[in-house]
Amino acid sequence: MTTLAKTGIEIFPLCLGGNVFGWTADEAQSFAVLDAYAAAGGNFIDTADMYSCWVPGHIGGESETILGRWMAARGNRGRMVIATKVGNLPTLKGLSVKTIRAAAEGSLGRLKTDCIDLYYAHLDDDKTPLGETLGALDALVREGKVRAIAASNYTAPRLAEALAVSKKNGFAKYVAIQPHYNLVHRTEYEGELADLCKREGIACFPYFSLAKGFLTGKYRPGTTVDSPRSKGASTYLNERGLGVLAVMDAIAAARRTTLASVALAWLRVQPTVGAPIASARTPAQLAELLPSVTLALSTEELARLTAASA
């Protein structure tokens, strides 16, 4: 376990992504994955109010609903750390006071809980003053409905501005950031944003940690993968991506582990990263991720991976 920033919240070093719950995994399949994750000692689950509104016939909240039912059925809410998000549900867009208040109440109801452990602003909202957004989030913290707040998809300048607003007004401050970051997608986070997080003691929880499945190794030249993410993952099938896979293949073979665990183990030890986020549709897929928690790559292995993905 590791501690989230200065919150005292203890988290497992692999965050389970809940985007598949109610989408590619139905309720029974989701329960099986959640049970396996909890049995392995996992306690940190990431979802959002908008999951999975993109599915025909869905309205959003499906993932939170399944997660809430699972915790109620297992009686384990007190052992879980639940992160969810506000601002990107089609019917509750943006980060105004009214939207945040309505969205939080909706999430609390679906999750069957009285408190969200980590509440993210899902997307930056430049149409709403940061003071309004942070004031609304701060009110939820003061009311005990949220333990800590975080930002997703913020640029370094906007994150810095938000931190300054919180400091000036005595509001709760963002303690974590959720960016797009993985072994083959590095420039968006590394540099200005990572440096800011290091200075301010902000934890990074990367999404797309496995590059939409590419870093599991199942996408190779001449192969066809039946997955909703195959188009996105296939964009990495180039000379650089194949070079990264070659290094990963060698390390995974030498360590007798999975490619996914190698990718996640590299990400887990990058500066400011608290835990990578990865999802699994089945317990078998989860089993490919879990070794990353204890896999300690050598300095030489880390350097080879970093060089191949530069």
Catalytic residue chosen out of the listed positions 51, 154, 207, 236: 51
Instruction: At 186, list the tokens.
Output: 């590095």
pLDDT at 76: 98
Look at residue 91 and tell me whether its pLDDT is greater than 80: yes
pTM for this model (two decimals): 0.96
d(CA 262, CA 288): 10
Lowest mean pLDDT among 162-176, 222-236, 260-274: 222-236
Q: What residue has token string 């990264």?
A: 244
Residue 221 in this model has a pLDDT that exceeds 90? no
Least confident of 82-96, 116-130, 221-235: 221-235
Alpha-carbon span 15 to 147, nearest angstrom: 17
222 pLDDT higher than 90: no
Q: What is the pLDDT of residue 13?
A: 97
The share of the chain scoring above pLDDT 90, in percent, equals: 93
What are phi and psi for residue 199, nearest 5 degrees?
Answer: -65, -40
> Each residue of 107-118: b (16+ CB within 10 Å) or e?
bbebbbbebbbb
Integer angstrom CA distances of residue 51 from 25, 122, 243: 12, 12, 34
Helices (H), 97-238: 97-111, 130-142, 156-169, 192-200, 230-234
β-pair type (116-121, 2-4): unpaired
pLDDT of residue 231: 76
Residue 228 binned pLDDT confidence (cut-offs 50, 70, 90): confident
The SS3 call for residue 147 is strand
Encoded tokens for 14: 């692999």
Q: How would you class 33 by CB atoms within 10 Å of its CB: exposed for 0-12, middle for 13-18, buried for 19 or more? A: buried
- DSSP code of 3? E
CATH code, 2-178: 3.20.20.100
Q: Is 133 helix (H, G, I), strand (E, B) or coil?
A: helix
In the predicted model, is pLDDT for residue 130 greater than 80?
A: yes
H or E, element range at 166 = helix 156-169
Question: What tokens does 203 get?
Answer: 């934890």
pLDDT digits (tens, 9 = 90+) for 252-293: 999 999 999 999 999 999 999 999 999 999 999 999 999 999
pLDDT, the chain, mean? 96
Active site annotation includes 51: yes
How deeply is 232 buried, as exposed, middle or buried, from its count of CB atoms within 10 A (0-12, 13-18, 19+)? middle
Place of tokens 């899902």: 122
pLDDT at 82 over 80: yes
Q: Which two tokens stand for residue 102?
A: 């309505």
What is the C-alpha separation between 297 and 289, in angstroms, rounded? 15
Q: What is the DSSP letter of 281?
A: S
Please report, to the nearest 10 degrees, the dihedral formed by the alpha carbons of residues 257, 268, 177, 139 taken in order.
Answer: 90
- Rounded mean pLDDT, 51-74: 97
Whole-number Cα distances in Å, 197 to 68, 72, 156, 230, 276? 31, 35, 9, 32, 15
Beta strand 2-4 pairing with 9-11: antiparallel
Instruction: Please determine, for residue 197, whether its predicted confidence score (pLDDT) is greater than 80.
Output: yes
